[in-house]
Amino acid sequence: MLKIVIATNNNHKISEFRSCFEQKGIEAELIPIKDTGFTDEIIENADSFEGNAYIKAKALCEFTGNIAISDDSGLCVDALGGAPGVYSARYSGEGATDDSNIDKLLCELSSVPPSERSARFVCVICVCRPDGEAIYLRGESEGIIIDERRGDGRFGYDPVFYCPDMNKTFAEMTSEEKNSLSHRGRAIEKLISNIDFLTE
Ligand code: IMP
Going from the N-terminus, what domains does the chain have, and what CATH number goes with each? 2-199 (3.90.950.10)
The residue whose CA is least distant from atom 8 of ligand 1 is: 74
Residue-level pLDDT at 13: 85
For residue 72, indicate whether it is catalytic.
Answer: yes
User: Of 40, 47, 71, 72, which is the active-site residue?
Assistant: 72
Residues contacting ligand 1 via CB (< 6 Å): 10, 72-75, 88-89, 101, 121, 154-158, 170, 182, 184
Whole-angstrom CA distances from 61 to 26, 70, 185 are 21, 10, 23
Q: pLDDT tens-digit profile of 55-94?
A: 999 999 999 999 999 999 999 999 999 999 999 999 999 9
Instruction: Tell me what pLDDT residue 198 has.
Output: 84
Residue 47 identity? D
Mean pLDDT of the chain: 94
C-alpha closest to that of 163 among 188, 146, 184:
146
Partners of residue 5 on adjacent β-strands: 31, 68
pLDDT band at 19 (very low <50, low <70, confident <90, very high): confident
Using pLDDT thresholds of 50, 70 and 90, give the confidence band for residue 20: confident
Centroid of ligand 1 to alpha carbon of 178 (angstroms): 14
Residue 174 above 80 pLDDT? Answer: yes
pLDDT confidence bin for 195, thresholds 50/70/90: confident
- This prediction has a pTM of 0.93
Query: Rounded to the nearest whole angstrom, what is the distance from the C-alpha of residue 98 to the centroid of ligand 1?
Result: 9
Confidence of residue 105 (pLDDT cuts 50, 70, 90): very high
Confidence of residue 25 (pLDDT cuts 50, 70, 90): confident
The answer for residues whose C-beta is within 8 angstroms of residue 106's C-beta and 6 or more apart is: 145, 147, 160
